[in-house]
A and B are shown apart, each in its own frame.
Chain A
Amino acid sequence: MKVVWSWLLELVDLDRQPTVEEGARALTAAGLEIEALTDLGAGFTGVVVAEVVAKRPHPEAAKLTLVDVITARGGAATQVVCGAPNVPEPGRKVLWAPPGATLPGGITLATKPVKGVPSPGMLCSETELAIGDDDDGIIVLAADDATPLGAPAQQALGVDDWLLEVNAPANRADLLGHLGVARELAALIGGRLVPPSIALDELTGDLDAAALAAIAIADPAGCPRYIARVIDGVTVGKSPRKFAQRLRAVGVRPLSNIVDVTNYVMFELGQPLHGFDWAHVAGARIEVRRATAGERMTTLDDQERALVPEDLLICDGARPVAIAGVMGGKDSEVSAATTRVLLEAASFDARSVRRTARRLGLHSEASHRFERQVDPALAELASARAASLIARLGGGRIARGSVDVYPRPTTVAPIAVRWERLRALSGTGMIDAIAIGACERLGFAVESTGPHTAQVTPPSARADILREVDVIEDVLRIVGYDQVPSTLPRLASAPRHTVDDRGDRARRALAGAGLAEAITFGFQAPTRAAALQLPADDRRARPIPLRNPMSLDQAVMRTALLPNLIAAIARNRSFGRADGALFEVGSVFLRKDAGTGEITELADEPIHATAVLTGLRPAWLGPARAWDFFDAKGLLETLVAALVGNAPLAFERATDIPYLHPGAAARLVGPDGAVWGEVGEVHPATREALGVDGPVFAFTLELARLPAAAIAQMRAIPKFPSASRDLSLLVGVDVPAGEVERVLRSAADALVEAIALREDYRDAKLPAGTKSMLFSITYRAGDRTLTDAEVAAAHEAIVARATADLGATRR
């Protein structure tokens, strides 16, 4: 809401005159944030009011005039060359930009010859001063203009003023007019509201509104009140300059005096108004009703609108003439030929206006206000004020009375308020009198009902004040939030939350292992999900679509973290970072149904930890090694250990994960037999689809599949020494290392503490079809030092099993 400072001050009688900065500060502190404070006259400097004392034609050019002007009564005249066709007769005032004056666009005036005659500066037009769009000639002040000679032009134009841009809270329709802001200012500074002047004394006996306009409301819920007035004999024309200037300041283009008045009163009081050309209201009759199916009308902006039955219409005896609260119709628009105006001041249901405005994509100053529920009581004041202004500016006569259809007048119910509740909720010791004083400054009627209790009745304009807590907020607002002390809440034992912090533990483990954490968007391009090459029935291949994405890149929810991370690698490579180790821990979004369209229930949102490795590992001096599968596997093992301790894990070769290389991928199976995650080289087709042309290794752990970490219990530190024996085996080259290890473990008795693979060696010198594996086996007993014979017996048992089960030979 744009507020003109002088306009605001017209509507209040303040105890003391604040500066505009003071006013802006006070309003901001009370929750009416002033987003901008603009000097309306800042566009030009040095331009002054001057009086024409003589004029004569330019000797060399017929279209130019030599004008003598004075800037002080009895002062010396200065001759200025003027090219405008409308140089006035002596005695009228114009605006002179003398040498040194500056104009919008950064022009500084000087004395320059015009067709051989020197001209000290120039006489200004509206466009030259950027205060209007009339460039047909220079500005000539009204004959009765009282601005003194030599005064700044800003004063004569009504731009020696400030514009405040107020960010009004969404529940404060009352702040969408100067009057509401004035009510706040009066409460904050101290003072009283001064309603705008209304002169309805031009009422004549021969014209009666009731006889000129019949009003019927078919839908009182949609239209609680409709007031019509008729102003006869108007002359449609331009509005006076200062009046039009205020409209320009608040962002409305002046059109004609009648339309300008309706806009002016809307900005002044917050009540939207509409003027109809009475001659085009068929049957001198207005009916407010819902549209019928298939009904159409053409609005002011020349668009033909298809209407639906929920749209509320203003109709005359024959057809719709306006969409209620949204926009008027083309046919009944006030035009230059209009002589009799039917002035509408009505209240419409906020939801109804909002739905229609939204559906038609029509957001007007009127709908903006109606959507926030305009006070029905305001219509009466606005109707009278506008009629009075139309009569003044358009020279018309106001028909006697008004037609006011208001079937169920809104009443404001008093609110029971406990001042103790105010003190408790605010945490202040505010005494009753301070609170009551704040209410009264806001125009709330306060009636004491007992010790520390009262009935509070807000003005009807304050539809947001319905409950005790609303009154409490407003009291605090006016007294000032800075009057509330800062305390800490008393520490109460709140029930303990069992927080799943696996995500953060995973983050710390992976960052500790040298990876950088990324956070990527929850939505992505559909092509990213497609890059996983999953079959159509996999729910990861059916990402949840957004109904209204901002771009195709954000059209569907992610079903895996991998695509965004690979895309991040591609991005890093594009600026020369070919090496990287990234991870993300975050939610993926999986639909619960078998469809592909809009979801009908909430999604599963499991948290995944995914990492990608590409290029070279960080190295010291000398050559670096490339990341490989076993780096990924080792990091995954490290991550699992950080989350659940040293659980026995199995990695099962996987050839069927579509986004991983079929020869270099494995599933991680936990001790519970469930798949916890997967690791592998990313399938070349997947990474290429995401823009990466070199190997990428990746793993994913589904955190929810892991058991809660048990509280670690200490194991006894061994008291007796261990013995270690190496075992070198020749095994068939196709036997997986995991299988060899499993067999060795199966033969291990209680004396075996650890089996560790040291070498996995393939060489042409070995017997054909074999590889050499070197294990280091550690033996220990908890209660004694093992003898060589005991160790040897255990070791030979393992060798025997390896020979028997694997056909291995000892080297």
Chain B
Amino acid sequence: MTTTLALVAELEQLGSEFDGVIAPLVDEQAIRAAQAQFLGKKGRVSEAMKALGKLPPADRPTVGAAANRVKDAITAAVDRKLGELVAAARAADLARTIDVTLPGRPHHSGHLHLLTQVRLEAQAIFAELGFAVAEGPQIETDWHTFEALAIPKDHPARDMQDTFYLSDEIVLRTHTSPVQIRTMQAQRPPIRIIAPGQVYRRDDDPTHSPMFTQIEGLCVDENISFADLKGTLVHFVSRFFGKSLAIRFRPSYFPFVEPGAEVDMACSFCEGRGCRVCKQTGWVEIGGSGMVDPDVFAHVDIDSERYTGFAFGMGLERMAMLRHGVNDIKYYYEGDLRFLGQF
């Protein structure tokens, strides 16, 4: 006959037996199964408690309390055991090592062409000054390329040697200046545009390519002055080269501007001391510029008494060459991955 004492002892025995059961277990499922084996509806604790009814009612609270102790002990043992497992797993995870000196898995980002990068940067700098981008065709009429820019057919500034002709009246544009004409034909002042694009000249040596890229600027409004031209280009050069390089405006002749100026920049390689790039002069030419000639305004029906304007053109290859040390213009156009991948 089961006695109260014996039942309490049996319950306590189950508690200690459970500790022994879960001690070797290493996964949560097995621990939960063991827990169910002892505490489930048909578990060993419940089985043992079936004897409760045979005990004197006065003893039942004592046994009930013992059963609760055992249940709490088992639950606590499970929690403790599970906690140990988590800690062990974390410790094991933290013991992992990898060879951090293996190469990083590359993302393989591509490359914008250096000339594209330089162009986008120039566009951004001029955009800050209110210049919008304009474009025009590369195959152009003789009229837009020359006549409207005050370069008539027999003008010495025009030389068959330099121009690629497609027919008597159609050429590959030799400069981006026809975009000035197209813009002024389409729009009244105020005008403030930048026109980048490919141009073509019959020229081929380490510093000249038969195709190259110009960026043209045009600003037409009331009260635009030569001083504004100087200020605009000084601003651009200092932003583009990131350092304050001296700028020199030298009188020069372009039929479509008057006064006209060649723009020289203190050589960025030697900072003006003289080197191979600047042919020991300390200066490098970066482009041509000037005030829009009244004859050009007449061709596009803009009143040159009311409006004045400036225009400039620069070679992007040269700008990139000066800033990035590209020593032969041919690299830009060969599709050579050894070059393209550097920028």
Residues of A that sit less than 8 Å from B by CB: 28-31, 33, 169-172, 350-351, 354-355, 358, 371-372, 424-428, 467, 469-470, 472-473, 476-477, 481-482, 484-497, 499-501, 504, 507-508, 510-523, 544-550, 554, 557, 564-565, 567-569, 571-572, 575, 577, 580-582, 586-587, 589, 598-603, 605, 618, 620-621
* Cα–Cα distance between A521 and B209 once the two chains are bound (Å): 10
| Given A31-B253, A495-B187, A512-B110, A599:B154 Cβ within 8 A | no
The answer to whether B202 touches A427, judged by C-beta atoms less than 8 angstroms apart, is no
The answer to whether B235 touches A582, judged by C-beta atoms less than 8 angstroms apart, is no
The answer to whether A467 touches B226, judged by C-beta atoms less than 8 angstroms apart, is no
Chain B nearest CB: distance from A497 CB in Å? 4
The answer to whether A547 touches B120, judged by C-beta atoms less than 8 angstroms apart, is no
The answer to whether B335 touches A486, judged by C-beta atoms less than 8 angstroms apart, is no
B166: chain A residues within 8 A (beta carbon): 544-547, 557, 598-599
Return the CB mask of B105-130 against A: 1 if under 8 Å, else 0: 11111111101100010000000011
| Given A33-B250, A568-B334, A599-B170, A425:B228 Cβ within 8 A | no
A549: chain B residues within 8 A (beta carbon): 164
Q: Does B48 contact A (CB under 8 A)?
A: no
A548: chain B residues within 8 A (beta carbon): 160, 164-165, 202
The answer to whether A621 touches B226, judged by C-beta atoms less than 8 angstroms apart, is no
* Cα–Cα distance between A567 and B335 once the two chains are bound (Å): 9
A467: chain B residues within 8 A (beta carbon): 294
Chain B nearest CB: distance from A602 CB in Å? 6
The answer to whether B110 touches A481, judged by C-beta atoms less than 8 angstroms apart, is no
9 A–B contacts from the bound complex (CB under 8 Å): A29-B250, A31-B252, A426-B226, A481-B230, A488-B231, A492-B221, A507-B116, A572-B337, A620-B105
The answer to whether A355 touches B112, judged by C-beta atoms less than 8 angstroms apart, is no
The answer to whether B139 touches A589, judged by C-beta atoms less than 8 angstroms apart, is yes
B223: chain A residues within 8 A (beta carbon): 424, 490
The answer to whether A488 touches B228, judged by C-beta atoms less than 8 angstroms apart, is yes
* Cα–Cα distance between A169 and B165 once the two chains are bound (Å): 24
The answer to whether B259 touches A472, judged by C-beta atoms less than 8 angstroms apart, is yes
| Given A494-B190, A521-B210, A582-B335, A355:B154 Cβ within 8 A | yes
The answer to whether A546 touches B154, judged by C-beta atoms less than 8 angstroms apart, is no
The answer to whether B130 touches A482, judged by C-beta atoms less than 8 angstroms apart, is no
B70: chain A residues within 8 A (beta carbon): none
* Cα–Cα distance between A440 and B141 once the two chains are bound (Å): 42
The answer to whether B250 touches A507, judged by C-beta atoms less than 8 angstroms apart, is no
Chain A nearest CB: distance from B304 CB in Å? 8
Chain B nearest CB: distance from A640 CB in Å? 17
* Cα–Cα distance between A302 and B132 once the two chains are bound (Å): 59
* Cα–Cα distance between A508 and B227 once the two chains are bound (Å): 36
* Cα–Cα distance between A741 and B198 once the two chains are bound (Å): 45
| Given A473-B259, A598-B167, A599-B167, A546:B113 Cβ within 8 A | no
| Given A427-B225, A620-B106, A602:B170 Cβ within 8 A | yes
* Cα–Cα distance between A548 and B250 once the two chains are bound (Å): 33
**10 closest Cβ contacts across the A-B interface?**
A427-B227, A568-B335, A31-B251, A427-B225, A169-B253, A473-B259, A497-B132, A518-B335, A486-B231, A511-B110
User: Within B205-259, which residues are at the interface with A (CB < 8 Å)?
Assistant: 210-211, 219, 221, 223-228, 230-232, 234-235, 248-253, 255, 258-259
User: Within B281-318, which residues are at the interface with A (CB < 8 Å)?
Assistant: 291, 293-294, 308
Chain B nearest CB: distance from A17 CB in Å? 24
Chain A nearest CB: distance from B196 CB in Å? 10
Chain A nearest CB: distance from B30 CB in Å? 33
In this complex, which of B102, B139, B157, B224 has the most chain A Cβ atoms within 10 angstroms of its Cβ?
A: B139
A546: chain B residues within 8 A (beta carbon): 164-166, 172
The answer to whether B190 touches A492, judged by C-beta atoms less than 8 angstroms apart, is yes
The answer to whether A497 touches B134, judged by C-beta atoms less than 8 angstroms apart, is yes
Chain B nearest CB: distance from A605 CB in Å? 5
| Given A425-B308, A548-B160, A486:B234 Cβ within 8 A | yes
| Given A522-B172, A598-B166, A354:B139 Cβ within 8 A | no
* Cα–Cα distance between A515 and B164 once the two chains are bound (Å): 32
The answer to whether A425 touches B338, judged by C-beta atoms less than 8 angstroms apart, is no
* Cα–Cα distance between A358 and B140 once the two chains are bound (Å): 24
The answer to whether A494 touches B248, judged by C-beta atoms less than 8 angstroms apart, is no
Report the contact-size class of chain B (Cβ under 8 Å from the partner): 35 or more
* Cα–Cα distance between A599 and B164 once the two chains are bound (Å): 13
The answer to whether B109 touches A512, judged by C-beta atoms less than 8 angstroms apart, is yes
Q: Does B321 contact A (CB under 8 A)?
A: no
Q: Does B15 contact A (CB under 8 A)?
A: no
A577: chain B residues within 8 A (beta carbon): 337-338
The answer to whether A514 touches B110, judged by C-beta atoms less than 8 angstroms apart, is yes
B93: chain A residues within 8 A (beta carbon): none
| Given A481-B249, A491-B130, A494-B132, A518:B139 Cβ within 8 A | no
* Cα–Cα distance between A371 and B157 once the two chains are bound (Å): 11
Q: Does B64 contact A (CB under 8 A)?
A: no
Which A-chain residue is minimally distant from B257 (CB atoms)? A473
The answer to whether B340 touches A516, judged by C-beta atoms less than 8 angstroms apart, is yes
Chain A nearest CB: distance from B81 CB in Å? 35
| Given A481-B250, A547-B166, A515:B110 Cβ within 8 A | yes
Q: Does B17 contact A (CB under 8 A)?
A: no
Q: Does B156 contact A (CB under 8 A)?
A: yes
The answer to whether B227 touches A487, judged by C-beta atoms less than 8 angstroms apart, is yes
* Cα–Cα distance between A548 and B190 once the two chains are bound (Å): 39
Q: Does B40 contact A (CB under 8 A)?
A: no
In this complex, which of B106, B129, B135 has the most chain A Cβ atoms within 10 angstroms of its Cβ?
A: B135
Chain B nearest CB: distance from A495 CB in Å? 6
B200: chain A residues within 8 A (beta carbon): 522-523
The answer to whether B156 touches A572, judged by C-beta atoms less than 8 angstroms apart, is no
A512: chain B residues within 8 A (beta carbon): 109-110
Which B-chain residue is minimally distant from A618 (CB atoms)? B108
* Cα–Cα distance between A30 and B253 once the two chains are bound (Å): 11
Q: Does B175 contact A (CB under 8 A)?
A: no
* Cα–Cα distance between A596 and B80 once the two chains are bound (Å): 90
B112: chain A residues within 8 A (beta carbon): 507-508, 511, 517
Which A-chain residue is minimally distant from B165 (CB atoms)? A547
B137: chain A residues within 8 A (beta carbon): 602-603, 605
* Cα–Cα distance between A571 and B253 once the two chains are bound (Å): 41
* Cα–Cα distance between A771 and B259 once the two chains are bound (Å): 77
In this complex, which of B109, B164, B332 has the most chain A Cβ atoms within 10 angstroms of its Cβ?
A: B164
* Cα–Cα distance between A515 and B335 once the two chains are bound (Å): 12
Residue in A29, A488, A599 whose CB lies within 8 Å of B129:
A488
* Cα–Cα distance between A518 and B113 once the two chains are bound (Å): 6
* Cα–Cα distance between A424 and B187 once the two chains are bound (Å): 24
A485: chain B residues within 8 A (beta carbon): 227, 230-231
The answer to whether A516 touches B227, judged by C-beta atoms less than 8 angstroms apart, is no
The answer to whether A477 touches B335, judged by C-beta atoms less than 8 angstroms apart, is no
Residue in A170, A171, A499, A571 whose CB lies within 8 Å of B133:
A499
Q: Does B71 contact A (CB under 8 A)?
A: no
The answer to whether B211 touches A572, judged by C-beta atoms less than 8 angstroms apart, is no
| Given A469-B258, A489-B219, A602-B141, A504:B120 Cβ within 8 A | yes
Which B-chain residue is minimally distant from A490 (CB atoms)? B223
The answer to whether A520 touches B167, judged by C-beta atoms less than 8 angstroms apart, is no
* Cα–Cα distance between A602 and B142 once the two chains are bound (Å): 11
In this complex, which of B198, B226, B228 has the most chain A Cβ atoms within 10 angstroms of its Cβ?
A: B226
* Cα–Cα distance between A482 and B226 once the two chains are bound (Å): 11
* Cα–Cα distance between A501 and B127 once the two chains are bound (Å): 14
* Cα–Cα distance between A491 and B235 once the two chains are bound (Å): 14
B259: chain A residues within 8 A (beta carbon): 425-426, 469, 472-473, 476-477, 481
* Cα–Cα distance between A467 and B295 once the two chains are bound (Å): 11
B231: chain A residues within 8 A (beta carbon): 485-489
* Cα–Cα distance between A572 and B334 once the two chains are bound (Å): 9
The answer to whether A489 touches B232, judged by C-beta atoms less than 8 angstroms apart, is yes
Residue in A476, A492, A598, A620 whose CB lies within 8 Å of B226:
A476
* Cα–Cα distance between A152 and B268 once the two chains are bound (Å): 42
Q: Does B319 contact A (CB under 8 A)?
A: no
Q: Does B261 contact A (CB under 8 A)?
A: yes
* Cα–Cα distance between A621 and B101 once the two chains are bound (Å): 13
* Cα–Cα distance between A605 and B193 once the two chains are bound (Å): 21
Chain A nearest CB: distance from B305 CB in Å? 9
